[in-house]
Each structure stands twice: as C-alpha cells, then as structure tokens.
Amino acid sequence: MALRLVAEFDLWKDVFPWLRVQRAASASAGTPGGGADVLENNYESLRVLNIERNGNVIYTYKHLYTFEKDLQVVSCSVNSERTLLAASLVQSSKEGRKNELQPGSKCLTLLVEIHPINNVKVLKAVDSYIWVQFLYPHVDSHPLPENHLLLISEEKYIEQFHIQVIQEDGNRVVIKNSGHLPRDRVAEDFVWAQWDMSEQRLYYIDLKKSRSTLKCIQFCADENFNLMFEAPLDIPLSDSVFKLVNFGCDDIQDQDKSSKYPMLCIFTNHTGSLCVCYSPKFDSWEQIMYTVFYFHKGHSKTFTAALGSADSHVTKGITFLNLDYYVAVYLPGHFFHLLNIQHPDLICHSLFLTGNNEVIDMLPHSPLQSLSGSLVLNWCSGKLYRAFLNQSYLLQFLWNTRLDCEKIAVLHCVLSCGQDPQFLEAKIIQWISENVSACHSFDLIQEFIIASSYWSIYSETSDIDKLLPCSSVLTWNAEIPGITLATEEITLPLMKVHSFKGYWEKLNCNLEYVKYSKPQLHYNNCMVRREWHSLISEEKTGKRRSNVYVRNILDNAIKVISNLEARNLVSEPRLTPLFQEEDNHQRLLLGLMVSELKDHLLRHLQGVEKKKIEQMVLDYISKLLDLICQILETSWKKHNLHPRVLHFNRQASAAEFAVFHIMTRILEATNSLFLPLPPGFHTLHTILGVHCLPLHSLLHYIDNGVLLLTETAVIRLMKDLDNTEKNEKLKFSIIVRLPPVIGQKICRLWDHPMSSNIISRNHVKRLLQNYKKQPQSSMIDKSSFSIEFLPLNYFIATLTDIESSNQALYTFEGHDNVDAKFVEEAALKHTTMLLGL
C-alpha cells in the first residue's frame, strides 16, 4: 500500500506479556487477586492514555491508582523527570464503563508525587471533564526546578499550573508549597483545541460574533508562553461544539459515530507550512467534502470526492495524517488521497486513489490519530506507528498507472521521500526509458530532471522552494477522475510576535512571500538564453567581447564538470562518450547558467554564506547534467551499445535507433527550458543521426536544429567515409551547412574538387565583400592565361589585382595556397566534374 505503517509500540505485544508474567508471579506467590485468568477477563481495560514528547507511552490496566472501584482514568500525564503524575478520573457505571457526559458527573483531578512516595494533591473536583498535560521543555541534563501543567476544562478554559519541586532525604522529590500552586489563565471561551506534543504548541479556536478565529500559543523553556498568531477561519462552528485533539485518548464521543461530527486538525512541518484540515459532518452518502487551508500559501482548496453508488454508506469519519511534505486523507474502503502541501498550487502534484483499491483496503478501518511529525496512534488497538510513504508500492504504481495526473503525482511522491535517492532515481530512469512517449500532458524527461534536481538541494535551505521550480508544469487543466476542486484566497494569519526563531521564522517568511512576492521568484533561463545567443552571434562576426569575461564563463563550466566528477568518484566509469571534447558552446551555456543562478540566489537568499550558495549552484547544475548522463547511460546499457558506434563506416542497428530516439527526446526536453547538455552530447547525437536517418531526413533534422553539427563529428565523418558517390553527396550536404569558421577548417581535410570549390567560394566572398570596381583597360593580357575563357579570365584578373593591392589583408587565413590561381584551378575542376569530362 502507498502508506507504510511501522509499529514503534504495540500495547498487546509490549505490555500484555509482561502483565501476564507479573500476574503469574503474583498467583504463585499467593497474592490475593492474582492469576492469569483475571488478566484475561479484564483485558479491555488495558488501553493507551497518552504519549509524551520524549516518547513515553502512558497506559492503564484496570486502575493506575486505586482510590475507588468506580473511578476510571480519563486523562493522564507524567513530567519529564517522572517524578510527578497528573491524572483526571471520573465515576464509572456498574458495568465498568463510564457514563456518557451528563450534568452531575464527578471529575477528580489529582497531582501525585511518585518518586519515591505517593503524596496526593487534589487540583480540581468539578462536575465537568478535565484533561491534563505536562509541558516538556527541551531535554536538559539536570532536573528542572519548576514543572508546568496544563489543565483543559470542558468549561472551555485552559489553565497552566506552576509546580516547584525540591529534593529531600537524598532523591526523594516533593512538591514545594503544595497548598498554593501559582497558575495562569492561558485561554478561555474556546470551542476546539489541539496539542502539538513535539513542538509544545497549543492551537485553539474561539468564537466572536459567530466568527471562528484560530490562535496559537507557543510554550518555551526560557519563558512563559506567547500568543504567536491569529487567523480567521471560515468554517461553521457553534458554541455547542467542544472538541480536543491529541490531549490523550478522547473516547467521550462514540468513535462509530465520528462521521456525524465535523473533523478538524492542524499540521505543520519544519519548512514553515501551516495547514488546517477540515471535514464537515456528512450530509450525503454519494460524495464527501473536505477543505485544506494552506495558510503558508494564502489559499484554501475544497475537495469533493465521489463515493460511487448511493448505497456506499459511510460509517467512519475522514482521517487526516501528517506525512511531512504530504497530508494523507482517507476514508476507509472509499478513497485515499496524498495532498502535496509543499506545492499545492497544481492538483496534479497530489495523488488521488479511489474505489476498491488494495491500498485503501489494507489501511486500518479503526480511527487513527495523527500525532506530531509522522507518528500515528490507533487508540483502539493500542499501536503507535511511524508512517512513511511506501517507495516500493509507489514505484510499482508508477509502472502500472495510465493516467498522466497519477504519473506526475507519484513521480513527485517518490522523489520527495528522500530515502536512498540514487536507488530511486535509477528505478525512475528505468521506467522513463520504457515509457518515454507515454505521457501526453507533460514532458516526462523534463519533469524528472527539474524535480530531481530541485529535491537534491532542497535540504540546504527551506527558501529554495520559492527560488527554484520543482516542476516543469506551469498549468494543469485536465480533470482528475472522481475529484472536483474549488480554490479560494484566504486571509493570512496575523503574527502577534515580532521576534521569530525556528519554525516561526520560516512561517513568517512564507507569509511575507505570499504578501509581497508576485510574480513568483522562480529562476528561469531567459537571461541565459539571451546572453548565450549574444555570445554565439559575436563569435560568428568575430567581435566577441573581452577575453576576460569569456574566460570567467568557461571557468564556471570547468567548476561544474569538476564538481560532477567529484560526485561520481565511487560510481562506475561511464560507457557513453561524453565529456571527451571541448564543445565550447555547451561550456558557455553551462558557465552562463552558473553565473545567472548564483546571482539570482544571492539576491534573494539573505543571510546565507556566499560559499554555500556557490556550492548549491554547482551541485544543482551538476545534478542536471548527471541526470541527463544517467538517462543516456541506462539506455546505452540496455541496448548493449559498443564504442564502435562512433565510427561512420558501418550500418545502423535497432539499438542505435532506440538510443537516437531517447537522445532526441532529451534534446527536446532541454531545449524548451534552455538547459545545458553534457559536452559531447551533440557529437554523439549527430553520429547516431547519420547512422540511422536517410539523407533527406538527416538534412531536415539539421536544418530544423534537431541535430547540431559539431566540429568533432564532422571531422570524424570526413576521415571515416571514402569518396563514393553517396558519401560525396553526404559530405557536401554537411559542409555547406557548417558555420563558416568550422567549414573553412573542415574543407581542408577533404581532398576533393568539391572541397576546393567551397574553399574558393569562401575566398572569393572574402575578397569581394568590400570590393569597389575601378576603371580597367578593356584589353586583357591573354598570354598570362592557359585557358581562353573570357569570363573566367576576367574574373581571375580582378582577383589577382585585389590580392596584389592588399595581400596582407586578403590572404586566406591558415591556407597559404589559396589565391587567384587556386580559384581558377578549382573552377575548372568543378566545371569538368559537372560536365562529366
């Protein structure tokens, strides 16, 4: 199943056997009331009461402390030193189960010294329910002189007791001034509250003029408590509602009737996200609705899930679980949703599974409670789980699903797991190589490269999600089967404290971004595209800017390639012939991207060291290149290609066709985003193109920019192929399409009349581009010409005159034998060849 629950505590496996041993020992010792049969008859009273911040699980069997036989524990908490215990007890019915809440119920709240004696102080004796919770500051090596205890009353107020303890007679711990314990009123007139045990936060909702307002109290070790924010919450609540979340086991309400009550919970994570998940009570058996308020993004989304047939009765409520970057929402037997809370803007980044799916059927049907982080508690079974996304299931699902929306959602789920990323990337690349053309709504290679590069440096700083794109998909208009969605803007929380640390600093940063940063600050390669085209244009005209600037850009590329090689020290040598040539155009693109991305991050990542940013940039771009190499390497290995593929004098194989196709898809993916390619990519692509394509298709690919002619590839072509008629046609077609700078070099390597003709044409074009006709004698000295062909004679005389007037300027660079005489001979040879003489 998509969700993997790993048990960290099992009441029946971890506690029940121990109790059995204790009971058996008591029975053998003749202790009254002992015996294993008593345990068997009272197993229902074995239940979890609370889980503390340090991982301590508080459970009870029959009674923790026996005061009266008709009292039962409702709430219980132990301080971090395990010297004090707070417990709230209520009267029970004769059947051994507590009565439904009703006027006149008696609730007794006690504070007990448990190290090493049991002095008891009554904190409350009232006619309403009370819940207790010790505060847990960050663990210190020495005991705290003062403990803080929260009392939550059904009368809709929360108090904090300050309890000082002292040591007497060695390690005996007692309460100081137990007759008068100072206390503060933390909150009042609330209708709902949730406790975050890990971060020591209290969320609660109060009603003012029928308007719901969410508030949060942060408890700290070095101070009392602070009201952190207020946020209007557009959900219908009434004074008659009273609900507590994560204050121990809440079984006042019948869990079987949970669908009759609204469900509300709050999730946060270390990146500064704040999500409020709300599901109203169900009014229909045909569809279920729930809303998620993404306060860190400034909007809410209301999801409506179709349940199918009208007889699909819902007997259990919706369950919300916190999975770090995701929120899992599921209704047993009906649907399972994974909501991407880090990037919720597009619905395709979340996964929606419905119907009779095995992932839904395998999840527990009993209610689960999401605690801090990824801890999940099943109150009914007494099992505490750590919840993970199941990578194996998601990878298998990736192979089997046919929907584009599920492919892109699962792709992001897998990459965000963060467990063994190299293994996951290898599996995804294997899937891509088999399904490269399977997606119609997005480019599969493009999405993988962008998403994987993003997640590779995400842990460096939480602000990276605002500055780098996580997806290549900008819009998504396709429907998700079984789901309708409505998005609304919401009012942002008002921060009440102005000195932020940790999570609060990141949340405040997210809120500031939503307020002021529009349009988004995501990096793109627009500036790189413009600058690269400018440099290439300057290269063609010979007017390139200062050598220092270009050298710095190329140095950036060297740093990226060195960083990539350092990252791959432990991996196998690459089979594909990449990084084996200069390829200055790709190196310019690499270096420009380093420069632009570094400037982008430096502008917006305030407070981050420059060296760290520079390394992040190198890692990010190295990852881009490495992923491209991995995709090509996987295809190369799959088809068992050999280095002999680099030679032109051989026939293409089906394997080469397959690799050429994947390289063409990689080129399409990178071109639209203007991403750099590994030096040598275009050479290999061109060589495979010459092998695999007929001449007319090959020239069409070249003319449309799909194949980029590199000097290395063309030199190899000229050397490998002989001068048969077919090869001459190919060589000529290639040479005339070369940039002039490369073309001049290549023509010298081909000893052929066609090559001499091209050299001559370039020489003549160079001489005549600034030529101004001068008055000349109408008589031509025929004695200087061996052939009596007046047009040619006149033309050669003109060239000779230009050469003699400024020999230094017009000599063909690097080829001393190119002159008017060479042009004449080349023209005659070419004419002879054309006439077949």
Please give the Cα distance from 518 to 262 (Å, whole number). 35
Query: 382: phi > 0 → left, psi -120 to 50 → alpha, else beta; which?
Result: left
**Can you give the pLDDT at residue 484?**
93
Question: How would you label 98-130 residue by residue, b for 16+ Cβ within 10 Å and e otherwise?
Answer: beeeeeebebbbbbbbebeeeeebebbeeeebb
The answer, yes or no, to whether residue 825 has pLDDT greater than 70, is no
The H-assigned helical ranges of 542-680 are: 547-567, 584-604, 610-638, 654-673
Q: Is the pLDDT of residue 749 over 80?
A: no
Query: Can you list the positions of beta strands (E) in 252-331?
Result: 263-268, 274-279, 287-294, 299-306, 319-323, 326-331
For the ranges 247-251, 417-421, 513-517, the maximum mean pLDDT occurs at 513-517
pLDDT confidence tier of residue 729, bands split at 50, 70 and 90: confident
**Least confident among 40-54, 355-369, 620-634:** 355-369
CA distance 314 to 307: 9
- CA-to-CA distance for 758 and 818, rounded, in angstroms? 12
pLDDT of residue 252: 47
**Helix 526-541 and helix 740-749: axis angle, to 10°?**
50
Nearest CA to 318 among 264, 246, 251? 264
Write the pLDDT tens digit of every residue in 760-819.
666 666 666 666 665 555 445 555 555 566 566 656 666 676 666 665 444 444 445 565
Greatest distance between any 2 Cα atoms in the chain: 141
Q: Give the pLDDT confidence of 216-262 residue by residue, as tens digits.
A: 999 987 667 899 999 999 888 887 778 899 998 765 444 445 555 67
Q: Tens of pLDDT along 677-717?
A: 999 999 999 999 998 999 999 999 999 989 998 888 888 88
Gap between the Cα atoms of 49 and 59, Å rounded: 5
Q: Chain-wide mean pLDDT for the chain? A: 82
Write down the pLDDT at residue 451. Answer: 95
What the block records as the tokens of 685 is 């692509």
Give the C-alpha separation, 370 to 384, whole Å. Answer: 10
Which secondary-structure segment (H or E) carries 716? Answer: helix 711-720
Q: What pLDDT score was predicted for residue 775? A: 55
**Strands, DSSP E only, in 346-500?**
351-354, 368-370, 375-378, 383-389, 483-489, 494-495
CB 606: neighbour CB atoms within 10 A?
A: 7
Are 721 and 648 a contacting pair, CB within 8 Å? yes
Question: Helix (H, G, I), strand (E, B), or coil: what is residue 495?
Answer: strand
Is the Cβ–Cβ distance between 63 and 71 less than 8 Å? yes
Residue 710 main-chain phi, psi, to 5 deg: -105, 155
pLDDT number for residue 78: 92
Q: ω into residue 493 within 30 of 0, thus cis?
A: no
pLDDT score of 415 more than 90: yes
Amino acid at 588: L
pLDDT in tens, 450-462: 999 999 998 887 7
Amino acid at 222: D
Return the pLDDT at 58: 85
74-120 pLDDT, tens digit per residue, is 899 999 888 899 999 887 654 444 444 445 557 889 999 987 777 88
Helix (H, G, I), strand (E, B) or coil at 8: strand
Q: Which residue has the higher pLDDT, 731 or 425?
A: 425
Whether residue 664 is predicted with pLDDT greater than 60 in this model: the reply is yes
Of the chain, the percentage scoring pLDDT greater than 90 comes to 40
Average pLDDT over residues 417-423: 82
| CA separation for the pair 452, 439 (Å, rounded) | 18
pLDDT interval class at 64 (50, 70, 90): very low
Residues 6+ apart with CB under 8 A from 348: 404, 405, 408, 409, 441, 473, 476, 478, 480
Q: What pLDDT digit, counting tens, does each position of 751-765 carry?
A: 655 666 666 666 666
Please choose, from the candidates 331, 381, 371, 374, the residue with its C-alpha nearest in 3D space to the C-alpha of residue 354.
331
Better-predicted residue by pLDDT, 423 or 47 = 423
DSSP state of 423: H
* Residues 6 or more apart in contact with residue 199 via CB below 8 angstroms: 218, 268, 372, 503
Question: Which of 171-180, 335-344, 769-778 is least confident?
Answer: 769-778
The SS3 of residue 780 is: coil
Round to whole Å and give the CA distance between 752 and 765: 20
pLDDT value of position 255: 47
This model's pTM is above 0.95: no
Q: Is there a contact between 305 and 287 (Cβ–Cβ < 8 Å)?
A: yes
Please say whether the dihedral angle defined by the alpha carbons of residues 514, 517, 518 and 519, taken in this order, is positive or negative: negative
User: Does the structure show a pLDDT above 90 at 304?
Assistant: yes
